[in-house]
Chain A
Amino acid sequence: MHPAGLAAAAAGTPRLPSKRRIPVSQPGMADPHQLFDDTSSAQSRGYRAQQAASGLGYPATSTLPQAAFLADPVSNMAMAYGSSLAAQGKELVDKNIDRFIPVTKLKYYFAVDTVYVGKKLGLLVFPYLHQDWEVQYQQDTPVAPRFDVNAPDLYIPAMAFITYILVAGLALGTQDRFSPDLLGLQASSALAWLALEVVAILLSLYLVTVNTDLTTIDLVAFLGYKYVGMIGGVLMGLLFGKMGYYLVLGWCCVSIFVFMIRTLRLKILAQAAAEGVPVRGARNQLRMYLTMAVAAAQPLLMYWLTFHLVR
């Protein structure tokens, strides 16, 4: 790689302009399959062309005091080599990051709109009247939550987690127990419990040999929905004391339990059992136990992570 890089640097052309792609987009067209609204316009296109032109020009002529250092051909070559090396490294990382963290799939989980968030929050607090829990199946990409209220998303769990940290800080502050490092401790503790849950559930799914299409990101999304109930409980506890806290937390615990069972049943149990017909065998019984264990762990964790905040 080194001789090739040096030869390219000796040719003298920096690689930067080839990387600039001017977006070909029509701002007025609303594509129904688009995940996000396209806000790029002709103004930003002109700005990008200007930036490319100035990027080309800077190593050649300048009157700055560093001009002497930059005009030296050896350091020029070294700079071009270094930038080409960095570009190659960036390409390598971009190609391989998708193997470990599915970055391209992540954007589907954040494609939400206000209607979806409202409906989902209502579903988390009152799941008893919802009839159809099946996600409309889509081939190789995850279903964008904008199109189906049953699809998992990562927006609500992320926002609820951050709000939980802030509400915990508020609760500690009203009891004169606040200090800034406690916020970091709360965040780290909640993340550690989440990681432990995900690992435990993945391990038990592997041991019971369940063939599901439940990906890790889906699992993180489902396990993150409990933060919504926790926030409600702590806020009520701040306003109305322990009685309000227990009432609202109890209600949210039961709702999350029912929500998780109804959602996971479709993913973990076999199709026949999900339709209500009891199927034979220890395998489906084991899967049912697993679903109930996962759902029962949610209220326990909700209580464990909030009880020390309400006095």
Chain B
Amino acid sequence: MAFTLYSLLQAALLCVNAIAVLHEERFLKNIGWGTDQGIGGFGEEPGIKSQLMNLIRSVRTVMRVPLIIVNSVAIVLLLLFG
């Protein structure tokens, strides 16, 4: 029962970090998840895969700078308070 709000925050930070380190050219293109491979025309609705790729790309673009700040704060706090 050690599932607290703090551990949820830590898990969320780790997940967002994991999404941010996926490299476009070396990794995503090799498994077919690159952002230029997903545009399925102006069809009716995008499938789950293209939604996921859009989500990964937007998270990487939006969260790059805030992640630097949040990670630095987390590192300092963990060093000080364990």
Contacts and interface: CB of A to CB of B under 8 A. Distances in A.
A311 interface: no
B52 interface: yes
A196 B12 CA distance: 10
Interface residues of A, number: 15
B4 interface: yes
A106 interface: no
Contact of A207 (B1, B5, B52): B52
B1 A189 contact: yes
B5 A185 contact: no
A188 B1 CA distance: 10
B5 A195 contact: yes
Interface string B29-71: 0000000000000000110100110010000000000000000
B7 A207 contact: no
B7 A209 contact: no
A29 to B, nearest CB: 45
A283 interface: yes
Contact of A185 (B1, B8, B45, B52): B1
A287 to B, nearest CB: 12
Contacts of A192: 3-5, 7-8
A237 to B, nearest CB: 17
B22 to A, nearest CB: 17
A209 B46 contact: yes
A283 B47 CA distance: 9
Contact of A195 (B8, B48, B51, B55): B8
Given A209-B45, A209-B46, A189 B4 contact: yes
Query: How would you classify the secondary structure of chain A's contact residues: helix, strand, loop or mixed?
Result: helix
Contacts of B5: 188, 191-192, 195
Interface in A73-132: none
A209 B49 CA distance: 11
B4 A188 contact: yes
A208 B4 CA distance: 29
A191 B52 CA distance: 27
A21 interface: no
B58 to A, nearest CB: 11
Nearest to B4: A188
A209 B3 contact: no
A193 B3 contact: yes
Interface string A188-202: 110111011000000
A206 interface: yes
A308 interface: yes
A239 B46 CA distance: 53
A162 to B, nearest CB: 17
A173 B45 CA distance: 54
Interface in A232-277: none
A308 B51 contact: no
B47 to A, nearest CB: 9
Interface in A178-192: 185-186, 188-189, 191-192
A308 B1 CA distance: 9
Nearest to A193: B3
13 contacts: A185-B4, A186-B1, A188-B6, A189-B3, A191-B5, A192-B3, A192-B5, A192-B8, A195-B8, A207-B51, A207-B55, A209-B51, A283-B45
Given A192-B8, A207-B51, A283-B45, 5 more contacts: A185-B4, A189-B4, A191-B5, A192-B3, A196-B8
- State the 7 A-B residue pairs at the shortest beta-carbon distance, nearest first: A188-B4, A192-B8, A192-B5, A207-B51, A188-B5, A189-B3, A207-B48
